[in-house]
Amino acid sequence: MTRKVYMNGSFVDEQDAKVSIYDSSLMFGDMVFEMTRSFNGEQFKLREHIKRLLTGIKIFRIPLEETEDSIYEKCLLTIDQNKGEFKDDDEHRLMIDVSRGLLDIYKGVDGLHKEANLIIADFPLRWTVKSMGILFDQGINAFISSQRAIPARYLDPKIKNRSRVFYLMANIEAAQVRYPNTWALMLDDDGYITEGTGDNFFIIKDGVVITPEGRNILRGISRDYVIYELCKELKLECVQKNIEPYDVYNADEAFMTGTPFCMLPVTSLNELQIGSGERGPIFNLILKKWSENIGLDIESQIKSWDEGNNDKNIGTSPYQFSKK
């Protein structure tokens, strides 16, 4: 048996889930997508992910005839198809891809799906987070890459799209640093902190949770959850505003959010410790609340999947480049 991937109306074996080289996505990075996760098998914020996907489809003007509901149904169906392929302690990570389909000039090729594509894959979350357990203890060393975030006026990062090879370029830089557990953090043109390469950044100062304005970043679903739900429930003030490295050096705590790992502490910036240099109490508070809300211990679960990879900087970031 094998995992199945939904592709434009039918299910195919995972290794057959492929896109034609003539597809617009492989010509331009012309694809919008979402990646979700489950807790105890229940998808988290799936509708929010689909809503964001639809915004990208609209702005990219991809002629896909689907609604929030129809995509939602197909996601559930895909999970259902794959039930037997997951271990009991696994969580489902969905990847939902939408591309424009074949460019006009290639429509003469026989046997190809020519219209816009909707693809939904479902694979174990542990793939992504298997070497992250240690980061809950050691914390991430954030590293300001010379690669800057592409400002929204050129290509809006708020659209979760596949035209983002500069994320890889930032990761490559981070991998050149001596210090272990180093993840890239990008500045924008003005020197404001934006985001990691697949994660959002927060600091805590004098009890206030602060995160960059939702401008030159992807507005992560986990980011929204922290801002609009967890902080509210915990009665923590949370503000979105421009942050500079100076503010991070002066912060009491810092962390990253991302769908697969939820939250990870950032304990230094460019090797200078943030606050005590240890994971802090407000991080703990938020993570605990999150775990309570979804009914499982997020940190323990990730640690339970640990495969003992101790090669630092390799595999720590979910989007790490392939390094010899």
Q: Which is nearer to a copy of itself, 217 or 286 (CB)?
A: 217
Residue 236 and residue 181: Cα distance in Å, rounded? 28
Q: Is 50 in the site for a copy of itself (CB under 8 A)?
A: no
Query: Pairing state of beta strands 200-205 and 38-39?
Result: unpaired
Cβ neighbours of 242 (radius 10 Å) = 14
Among 176, 276, 300, 310, binds a copy of itself (CB under 8 A): 176
Residue 157: CB partners within 8 Å, gap ≥ 6? 149, 150, 164, 194, 195, 216, 217, 218
What's the min distance (Å) between Cβ of 115 and a copy of itself? Answer: 9
* Using rule CB under 8 A, residue 48 touches a copy of itself: no
Q: Which stretch binds a copy of itself (CB under 8 A): 75-83, 140-148, 203-211, 298-306?
A: 140-148
DSSP letter at 284 equals H
Q: Residue 318, interface with a copy of itself (CB under 8 A)? A: yes
Angle at 25 between CA 86 and CA 324, to 5 degrees: 65
Question: Given the complex with a copy of itself, which of 22 and 72 has the nearer CB atom?
Answer: 22
* One of 25, 78, 194, 211 touching a copy of itself (CB under 8 A): 25
Q: Rounded distance, CA 19 to CA 6, Å? A: 12
Q: Which of 190, 237, 292, 311 binds a copy of itself (CB under 8 A)?
A: 190
Rounded to a whole number, what is the largest CA-CA distance in the chain? Answer: 63
Closest CB to a copy of itself among residues 3, 279 = 3
Binding mask 268-307 for a copy of itself (x = CB under 8 A): --xxx-----------------------------------
Residues 77-116 interacting with a copy of itself (rule: CB under 8 A): 95, 97, 100-101, 103-106, 108-112
284 or 309: CB nearest a copy of itself: 309
Which residue matches tokens 């979700």? 36
E strand or H helix at 4:
strand 4-7
The 3-state secondary structure of 203-237 reads: EEECCEEEECCCCCCCCCHHHHHHHHHHHHHCCCC
Buried residues in 271-301 as b, exposed as e (16+ CB within 10 A): eeebbeeebbebbeebbebbbeebeeebbeb
* 15 vs 295 by CB, closer to a copy of itself: 15
Among positions 192-251, residues that touch a copy of itself (CB under 8 A) are 215, 242, 244-246, 249-250
Kindly indicate which of the ranges 75-83, 156-164, 223-231, 296-304 contains the residues binding a copy of itself, using the contact rule CB under 8 A. 156-164
Residue for token pair 């003469």: 108
19 binds a copy of itself (CB under 8 A): yes
**Contact pick of 178, 206, 235, 308 for a copy of itself (by CB under 8 A):** 178
